[in-house]
Structure 1
Amino acid sequence: MNDSEPLIVRIPADVARPDKIAYGFTARQLAILAVTGALASSVYYVFRQVVPVVVIAAVVLPLVALGAALALGRRDGLTLDRFTLAAMLFLRSPTKVVAAPDGVTPPPRWCRLRGKLPAPLCLPVRAVRSDGALELADGGTVALVETSTLSFHLRTADEQASLVGAFGRWLNSLDATVQVLVRARPVDLAGLVEALEQRAEHLPHPALVRAAAEHANFLGQLNASQDLLARQVLVVIRDPHPPRGRRSTARDASAAVVLRQAVETQRALAALGVTAAVLNADAANRVLTECLDPDGWHPAGIARPDELISGLEA
């Protein structure tokens, strides 16, 4: 292959797409269609002697349509059968949950309870360590690495080949479970506009004052007219051998392993020109807070649940 030829390979967005077995259908789709066809055939052969064909068709056709919709339909990136199952599980799940790691304490016998008790809130993360590692509820340990992005299409063919080779070497060096999470979060420029307006008054030249005011006006119009999003890329590194039990030494050793692998990932991605940083405890806590409440307001200096607040500002 010519070295100057650009490295362009089309990769489907759904990399976990199941294989198609026959007639362009997957095994799941064939199973749903086969069960639907068997039920429709059973209804026809059982009732064809005693029920008119029109009545049988009125019963069978909606059944066939439902089976075809479950097999072929999609909603929000999910197949319709999985979406329906998720909707049923969501409707059956409790709507009121509270943070109760040891379970919800029932009221005394003399207290009359109206309704149901709230269910305990089960989160995948049990604690955020002071070194930045996350202790999971199932006993695992995770470290987070926040990375920047780079422009691949603006590079030459040789630069693209170098980037692909460096990225491949990082992938081949992995000996742990790694997840790359790309999330978009809303951005509010109101604070930046206010800061520009306050600092514009102290600029030394009137032209700078006008430029700052025009820039603040532009940012204000942009913030009011568009839904601004910021893209964040996180590399989640998990210990392949999670500690067993609740001993502090095992948890410390597991946290040291994932943090060392996070530092190695940071160095490997730096060879690609990607700015990476291992998240400390405050940054990891902020990321988890934003994931649980993406539309809420979360100040940067929020305290952790186990952190003592020594003073308050008016």
Structure 2
Amino acid sequence: MDRPAQTPEKQVTDQHGERLSVKVPADVDQPDKILYGLTARQLTILSGTAAVVLWVWLTFQAVAPFPVLVAVATPVTAAGFVLAVARRDGMGMDRYAAAALAFLRSPKTRVSAGEPVQPPPSWCRLRGRLPARLRLPVRAVRQDGAMELADGGGVAVIVRAATVTFSLRTAGEQASLVAGFGRWLNSLDTPVQLLVQARPIDLSGLADHITAQAPDLPDPALEQAAGEHAAFLTEIGAAHDLLVRQVLIVISDGPPVSAATPWSKGQRQRTNRDAATQVALRRAAEAVQSLAALGVAAEVLDADACVAVLAESLSPGESRPVDNAAPDELISFQQEGRT
């Protein structure tokens, strides 16, 4: 159900030691209440439900007994009330039902194909539905790390940022960090996506590396300490499911609207993409500088790191099936038994 947004108070201390009270909205995206604590969407659904019930009552009251009308109107009223008031995973039930219907109607099997999948010949009996073409949001990754988005969506650049120990800071330091992060958010003039990923990590490789390098240490005590540390890493990796977090900032920029030029359509699109790429890379560099002022280490991902992040996001825990070749790299094929 829709709950009223609460406004908790955050106690911070300024540089002079004075305690300040700052009100932080609990839900800044909550829609406005129009009447009786209900939003416009809820009022529309309830009004439609009331109209349907009233139409049924006025139309069939002369031919149907009262218990039958109540039996028909009760589930309709209950369904309208649930659609208007109930929520699932932070989403209204009407939108949740629409998303579920769209999911049921969408094809479940997709294949990588450049063109739509053609149906089989008429003499071939097909069981089930044809697979649909897999359409990824990224059509190419440039050498500078910028991603060209599909369907004319412009370009996007990924910035990988580290985390800060916010809870261990003093109240004044926390207020300074929040203010600095707020200034960076307020300076943005385009949509930016913040993604926090948690993926499993394996410490066995690090433990093996420490064990292999331990005999080369100059002091036997250091070698013993290295062996104990490797054993500790092996033990903690076997006893717990370790996770590592990474924060990804996706900065995008749409293709600029240019005036009509005598160039061809393909050349004009390449020029627009190049211009959008430079703008996105500049914004990514500015984001890195702004986060560095807060003590957050960040970097703009190059082409290899960007492809690795995309592959890990699409298939977590699996290795890349093939390596992408550089634009100036020769692509060859070698078959055994032939020269």
Q: TM-score, normalised by structure 2?
A: 0.77
2:173 matched residue in structure 1 = 159
Q: Distance in 1 between matches of 2:251 and 2:170?
A: 31
Residues 231 and 214 of structure 1: CA distance in aligned 2, closer, same or farther (over 3 Å): closer
1:297 aligns to 2:318 (yes or no) = yes
Q: 1:148 aligns with which of 152, 162, 171?
A: 162
1:238 matched residue in structure 2 = 252
> Secondary structure of 2:34's partner?
strand
Q: AA paired with 2:102?
A: L
> Secondary structure of 1:181's partner?
strand
1:266 aligns to 2:284 (yes or no) = no
* Superposed displacement of residue 133, structure 1: 0.5
2:277 matched residue in structure 1 = 255
Q: Distance in 2 between matches of 1:302 and 1:174?
A: 37
Residues 267 and 210 of structure 1: CA distance in aligned 2, closer, same or farther (over 3 Å): closer
Q: Distance in 2 between matches of 1:261 and 1:137?
A: 21
Is this contact kept in 1: 2:210–2:226, CA < 8 A?
Answer: no
2:204 matched residue in structure 1 = 193
CA deviations 1:180-209 (Å, max 9, x no partner) are 233x333143xx135425743763444543
Point out where structure 1 has 5 or more consecutive residues left out of the alignment: none
1:49 aligns to 2:62 (yes or no) = yes
Task: Quote the sequence identity (%).
Answer: 46
Is this contact kept in 1: 2:192–2:252, CA < 8 A?
Answer: yes
* Superposed displacement of residue 241, structure 1: 4.4
Q: AA paired with 1:218?
A: I
Is this contact kept in 1: 2:181–2:294, CA < 8 A?
Answer: yes
* Superposed displacement of residue 263, structure 1: 0.7
> Secondary structure of 2:240's partner?
helix
Is this contact kept in 1: 2:288–2:300, CA < 8 A?
Answer: yes
Is this contact kept in 2: 1:7–1:160, CA < 8 A?
Answer: no
Residues 87 and 243 of structure 1: CA distance in aligned 2, closer, same or farther (over 3 Å): same
Residues 37 and 152 of structure 1: CA distance in aligned 2, closer, same or farther (over 3 Å): same
2:189 matched residue in structure 1 = 175
Is this contact kept in 2: 1:44–1:56, CA < 8 A?
Answer: yes
> Secondary structure of 2:324's partner?
coil
Q: Distance in 2 between matches of 1:2 and 1:112?
A: 75
Point out where structure 2 has 5 or more consecutive residues left out of the alignment: 1-11, 215-219, 259-264, 335-339
* Superposed displacement of residue 161, structure 1: 3.9
CA deviations 1:94-134 (Å, max 9, x no partner) are 12212223333455x57625144321112221111111101
Q: AA paired with 2:93?
A: L
Q: AA paired with 2:234?
A: A
Q: AA paired with 2:185?
A: L
> Secondary structure of 2:308's partner?
helix
> Secondary structure of 1:234's partner?
strand
Is this contact kept in 2: 1:196–1:213, CA < 8 A?
Answer: yes
1:21 matched residue in structure 2 = 34
Is this contact kept in 2: 1:196–1:216, CA < 8 A?
Answer: yes
> Secondary structure of 2:245's partner?
strand
CA deviations 1:8-62 (Å, max 9, x no partner) are 54342x5422111111111111111111111112212222222122111111111
Q: Distance in 2 between matches of 1:160 and 1:22?
A: 39
Is this contact kept in 1: 2:155–2:255, CA < 8 A?
Answer: no
- RMSD of the TM alignment (CA)? 3.0
* Superposed displacement of residue 156, structure 1: 3.1
Residues 161 and 202 of structure 1: CA distance in aligned 2, closer, same or farther (over 3 Å): closer
Q: TM-score, normalised by structure 1?
A: 0.83
1:112 aligns to 2:159 (yes or no) = no
Is this contact kept in 1: 2:199–2:245, CA < 8 A?
Answer: no
Q: AA paired with 2:323?
A: A
Q: Distance in 2 between matches of 1:199 and 1:168?
A: 42
Residues 29 and 255 of structure 1: CA distance in aligned 2, closer, same or farther (over 3 Å): same
Q: Distance in 2 between matches of 1:293 and 1:44?
A: 55
Q: AA paired with 2:82?
A: A
